[in-house]
Every structure is written in structure tokens, then in C-alpha cells.
């Protein structure tokens, strides 16, 4: 299967009442485990290259990695650029083969955010690629403060930019190590009543499983970005692999032990927000 766009996977999610996981990739091991998990569940997955990942690995390498995984997968895989801060960065990702870009203009005043995001969406669409924008500010745990999305602004933002998906700030927070976010359900309801595109929640690790499941089934939230939760599973598995045999030095051998825990956690994330299968009648 060739890589899918964000619109390809979020359209059916919006009409079908489920969500797709946008998973933060840091390297080959986690990317491969995410796609394995998606294939086991028979559901799509969004591989995300965020700023941390891009500082470590060139975009060309990440694109080749995502394409290789997507082309051999039996489920839709999206190659998504997360938190781009310039149009140049979006163009570069599209040239490399990414099928989705997120332009983050959330820190700009509304007019400027609209102007830049609309340009990013136009650049993306003319290449057959999807675009995600952000309105309101999703802060960082212990860092940047959040600013909740104002429904009227969200309506104007979605209408004027032509984006395919909209990230909103409703109590979600980046980099949370425990599910401690209090989600403003009323605000989501107010936004979805004036906007008809899929909504995205960054900071998915901070939202407990039941709430993620509920939002996926009952609201227009169709994508949860999840990084910290999976990075913690990876780190823990790596630490225990190192401890198990202090003489071991081959990194492929060591890293192999991260695969199963990352894959299994990913499977349960993807399954819990995916379409809820009806239980078999007795
Ligand atoms: Zn984010």
C-alpha cells in the first residue's frame, strides 16, 4: 500500500465515530513497532516526525523510512510532519515525500495564524498532501502555558485556512507523564458545533484511556498525538535490557527487546480509540 494522506484516514474516522493515533517517532525501532501494531489491529496509523526527531535525523531519512514502512504495510500509513514552524519546512517535507504537514502558527495573533496556515494548506493541497493547523495554544507540562481554543476563532480559522484537521486546546497538555489532564468537554462540543473538520488533540499521553475512548466515539476528535507514553515504555524496556546482561554491547540485540513492549502498548492505544467492534452475540 502507498502512503495515505491525513484526509484519507481522518474522513472515515469522523464519519465512523473513532480516532486514529498520531504516534511520535524517534527512530526506526519505534516506527516499525507502530506499523506492526497497526497491522495487527487492522487499523490505520499516523507516523509523526516532530521537532525532536528532526533535530536527530534528517527529514530525507525519515521520509524514506516512513515510505518503506507504508509501502509494505497492509493498512493505511500516513507520513506526517509535526509542528512545522515555516512554510519552507513544509515544502521540504512534501518534497521528501511526506503526505501530511502540520503548520503550527498557534503562537501568532489570529490573523497571522490564518494567513500562514492558509498558505501552508495551499502548498500542501497543490501537492496532494494534507495539512493540520492549530488554534489556541497547547502548552507543555512544566513549560509553555496553554491558551484554550475560542470556538468563534476556531470557526473562522477552519473556514479561512482550508485545513484538513484542526488541533485545539481544551485542557490537553504536551509531555504529561501521567493521565492527569482535565478535558473541557463543553469546549469541544462548542467547537464541533461550528466546525465540520476532524479535530486533533496533542498531548494524548496526558488523557486517560477511558476519556480518549469516549472522545473518539462521541466527538469530532479524530486524532490523538501520543509520544511521552510510548517513549516511557521504550525507555523502560531499554533500561531493563541493559541491566539484564551488562556484557552485552551489540545495539541491535539490545534494541530488539524494546520491540514487543512498544508494539503491545501501541496495539492497545490504537484499539481503544479505533472503531468499537460489536461483541458477538451468544
Ligand atoms: Zn504537539
Q: For residue range 248-279, list pLDDT tens digits in order.
A: 999 999 999 999 999 999 999 999 999 987 65
208 noted as active-site residue: no
Distance 15 CA to ligand 1 centre (A): 24
Distance 100 CA to ligand 1 centre (A): 14
- Per-residue confidence (pLDDT) for residue 281, from 0 to 100: 52
Distance 199 CA to ligand 1 centre (A): 13
Give the CA radius of gyration of the chain: 18
- Per-residue confidence (pLDDT) for residue 180, from 0 to 100: 87
- Per-residue confidence (pLDDT) for residue 276, from 0 to 100: 87
Distance 126 CA to ligand 1 centre (A): 25
Q: Which of 161, 159, 169, 163 is nearest to 194 (CA)?
A: 159
All residues with CB under 5 Å from ion ligand 1: 202
Q: What is the pLDDT of residues 179-198, one digit of tens each?
A: 989 999 999 999 999 999 99
- The answer to whether 31 and 65 are in contact (CB under 8 A) is yes
Whose cell is 489491529? That residue is 41
Report domain extents, the chain.
6-273
Q: Which of 264, 207, 261, 203 is nearest to 236 (CA)?
A: 261
Give the active site residue among 36, 82, 104, 164. 82
The pLDDT profile of the chain, 282 residues, written as one tens digit per residue, is: 889 999 999 999 999 999 999 999 999 999 999 999 999 999 999 999 999 999 999 999 999 999 999 999 999 999 999 999 999 999 999 999 999 999 999 999 999 999 999 999 999 999 999 999 999 999 998 888 899 999 999 999 999 999 999 999 999 999 999 998 999 999 999 999 999 999 999 999 999 999 999 999 999 999 999 999 999 999 999 999 999 998 999 999 999 999 999 999 999 999 999 998 765 554
The CATH number of domain 6-273 is 3.20.20.70: yes
Distance 170 CA to ligand 1 centre (A): 13
Distance 246 CA to ligand 1 centre (A): 36
Residue 183 CA: distances (Å) to CA of 41, 86, 172, 200: 27, 29, 6, 13
CA gap 18, 48 in Å, rounded: 19
Find all residues with CB under 8 Å of 146, minimum gap 6, and list them: 136, 137, 138, 139, 169, 171, 173
Q: Take residue 201 and report the three cell numbers written for it.
A: 488533540
- The answer to whether 237 and 257 are in contact (CB under 8 A) is yes
Pairing mode, strands 130-135 and 221-226? unpaired
φ/ψ bin of 99: left (φ > 0), alpha (ψ from -120 to 50), beta (otherwise): alpha
What one-character DSSP code corresponds to residue 146?
Answer: P
- The answer to whether 3 and 71 are in contact (CB under 8 A) is yes
Residues in the chain: 282
Distance 51 CA to ligand 1 centre (A): 10
CA gap 126, 157 in Å, rounded: 20
Centroid of chain to Cα 78: 10
φ/ψ (deg, to 5) at 222? -120, -5
Question: Quick count: other Cβ atoms within 10 Å of Cβ 113?
Answer: 22
- Per-residue confidence (pLDDT) for residue 74, from 0 to 100: 97
pTM across the whole model: 0.96
φ/ψ bin of 17: left (φ > 0), alpha (ψ from -120 to 50), beta (otherwise): left
38 SS3 class: helix
- The answer to whether 225 and 20 are in contact (CB under 8 A) is no
Amino acid at each position: 500500500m502507498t502512503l495515505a494522506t491525513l484526509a484519507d484516514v481522518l474522513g472515515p474516522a469522523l464519519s465512523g465515530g473513532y480516532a486514529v493515533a498520531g504516534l511520535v517517532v524517534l527512530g526506526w525501532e519505534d516506527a516499525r513497532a507502530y506499523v506492526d501494531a497497526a497491522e495487527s489491529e487492522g487499523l490505520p496509523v499516523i507516523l509523526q516526525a516532530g521537532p525532536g526527531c528532526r533535530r536527530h535525523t534528517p527529514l530525507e531519512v525519515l521520509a524514506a523510512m516512513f515510505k518503506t514502512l507504508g509501502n509494505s504495510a497492509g493498512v493505511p500509513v500516513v507520513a506526517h510532519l509535526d509542528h512545522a514552524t515555516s512554510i519552507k519546512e513544509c515544502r521540504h517535507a512534501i518534497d521528501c515525500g511526506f503526505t501530511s504537514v502540520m503548520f503550527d502558527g498557534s503562537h501568532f495573533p489570529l490573523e497571522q495564524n490564518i494567513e500562514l496556515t492558509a498558505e501552508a494548506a495551499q502548498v500542501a493541497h497543490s501537492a496532494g498532501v494534507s495539512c493540520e493547523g492549530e488554534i489556541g495554544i497547547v502548552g507543555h507540562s512544566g513549560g509553555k502555558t496553554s491558551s484554550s481554543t475560542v470556538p468563534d476563532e476556531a470557526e473562522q480559522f477552519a473556514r479561512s485556512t482550508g485545513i484538513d484537521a484542526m488541533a485545539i486546546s481544551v485542557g490537553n497538555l504536551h509531555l504529561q507523564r501521567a493521565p492527569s489532564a482535565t478535558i473541557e468537554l463543553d469546549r469541544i462540543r462548542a467547537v464541533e458545533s461550528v466546525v465540520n473538520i476532524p479535530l486533533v488533540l496533542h498531548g494524548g499521553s496526558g488523557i486517560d484511556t477511558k476519556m480518549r475512548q469516549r472522545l473518539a466515539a462521541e466527538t469530532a476528535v479524530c486524532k490523538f498525538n501520543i509520544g511521552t507514553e510510548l517513549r516511557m515504555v521504550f525507555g523502560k524496556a531499554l533500561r531493563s535490557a541493559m541491566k539484564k546482561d551488562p556484557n552485552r554491547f551489540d545495539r541491535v540485540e539490545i534494541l530488539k527487546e524494546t520491540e514487543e513492549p512498544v508494539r503491545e502498548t501501541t496495539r492497545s492505544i490504537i484499539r481503544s480509540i479505533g472503531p468499537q467492534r460489536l461483541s458477538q452475540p451468544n
